């Protein structure tokens, strides 16, 4: 009940204002700590590790306290509070809407707006010179990767460890998003956050790829091609995890996803267009339903008879 209610809250209500959103609090804390990092590589490595471990401990303890509070409240109120807390770790509505806005801008021929939107909402790469197909590819890649980061992974964490695990996962993912860059400012500071996030996502990324294969069959896309492209191309990205859902999505849509100078997924297929973003969103929505169902099943199994 909690999982389904959390997903419903996300779809219907979206994100709360930043002043109430735990992820915004995490971001402010990480920004403050980043500005106080030592200058030496060793100091930055240790600082990044300290930021990661202390944040994981704090969010885990917060989740445990919230779980205990929910258990003490009358059941309807307790379930609603726990669902609201879990909802803050999910990003289905925001991800789907962001991709839809990019697709609409492309369909209207507004390339400048599409470049701005995909950069603002979905990717961190430089989008100023991207073509129409490259913008569509970036949006589809983000839909696939964030299906794991913003949906399957927090639901998996909750299924296995409740609110403490879900909130700890969201902190690890936020720390990686803010610190895990391969540039001079973050090369050492972001190493431990990036590795911790990689560890958290080992299972969810592969589960997401499998769910994309199943979802492709359910919505009339190319399920068998998704499977073969996943197995062939998943290792072609520098990330040990991101290539799995992205390669599966490339095969499901039979499109060529490319990040110039980094990877090609689904090579040989046509370049994607705006309509392919909508196809990716349909798969995303089915993946959400499948992931929620799996999480409910796993929670019931853990609870026992």
What is the chain's percent helix, strand, coil content, to nearest 5? Answer: 75, 0, 20
The pLDDT, as a whole number, for residue 241 is 96
Predicted confidence (pLDDT) per residue in 21-60, tens digit: 888 889 999 999 999 999 999 999 999 999 999 999 999 9
pLDDT for position 269: 96
pLDDT of 240 reads 94
pLDDT of res. 192? 95
Q: Are 239 and 246 in contact (CB under 8 A)?
A: no
The helix (run of H) or strand (run of E) holding residue 148 is: none
251 contacts 227 by C-beta, under 8 angstroms: yes
Dist. CA 142–CA 122, nearest whole Å: 6
Pick from 44, 29, 59, 26: nearest CA to 192 = 44
Look at residue 121 in the predicted model and tell me its pLDDT. 79
Look at residue 304 in the predicted model and tell me its pLDDT.
61
The parts of the chain modelled with pLDDT lower than 50 are none
Residue with tokens 């050492």: 188
Supply the pLDDT for residue 19. Answer: 75
Among 221, 10, 285, 246, residue whose Cα is nearest residue 142:
246
């Amino acid at each position: 009940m909690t999982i389904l209610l959390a997903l419903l809250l996300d779809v219907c209500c979206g994100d709360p204002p930043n002043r109430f959103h735990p992820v915004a609090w995490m971001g402010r804390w990480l920004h403050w700590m980043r500005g106080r990092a030592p200058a030496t590589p060793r100091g930055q490595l240790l600082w990044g590790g300290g930021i990661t471990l202390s944040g994981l401990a704090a969010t885990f303890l917060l989740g445990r306290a919230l779980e205990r509070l929910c258990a003490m409240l009358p059941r309807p109120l307790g379930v609603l509070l726990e669902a609201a807390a879990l909802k803050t770790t999910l990003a289905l509505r925001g991800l789907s809407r962001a991709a839809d806005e990019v697709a609409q801008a492309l369909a209207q021929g507004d390339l400048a707006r599409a470049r701005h939107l995909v950069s603002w909402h979905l990717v961190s790469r430089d989008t100023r010179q991207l073509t129409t197909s490259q913008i569509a590819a970036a949006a589809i890649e983000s839909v696939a990767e964030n299906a794991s980061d913003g949906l399957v992974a927090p639901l998996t964490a909750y299924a296995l460890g409740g609110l403490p695990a879900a909130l700890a996962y969201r902190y690890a993912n936020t720390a990686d998003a803010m610190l895990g860059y391969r540039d001079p400012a973050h090369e050492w500071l972001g190493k431990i956050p990036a590795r911790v996030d990689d560890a958290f996502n080992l299972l969810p990324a592969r589960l997401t790829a499998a769910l994309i294969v199943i979802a492709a069959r359910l919505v009339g896309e190319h399920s068998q091609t998704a499977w073969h492209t996943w197995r062939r191309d998943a290792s072609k990205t520098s990330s040990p995890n991101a290539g799995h859902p992205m390669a599966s999505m490339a095969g499901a849509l039979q499109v060529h996803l490319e990040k110039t100078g980094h990877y090609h997924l689904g090579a040989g297929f046509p370049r994607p267009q705006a309509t392919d973003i909508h196809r990716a969103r349909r798969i995303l929505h089915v993946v959400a339903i499948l992931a929620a169902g799996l999480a409910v099943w796993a929670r019931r199994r853990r609870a026992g008879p």
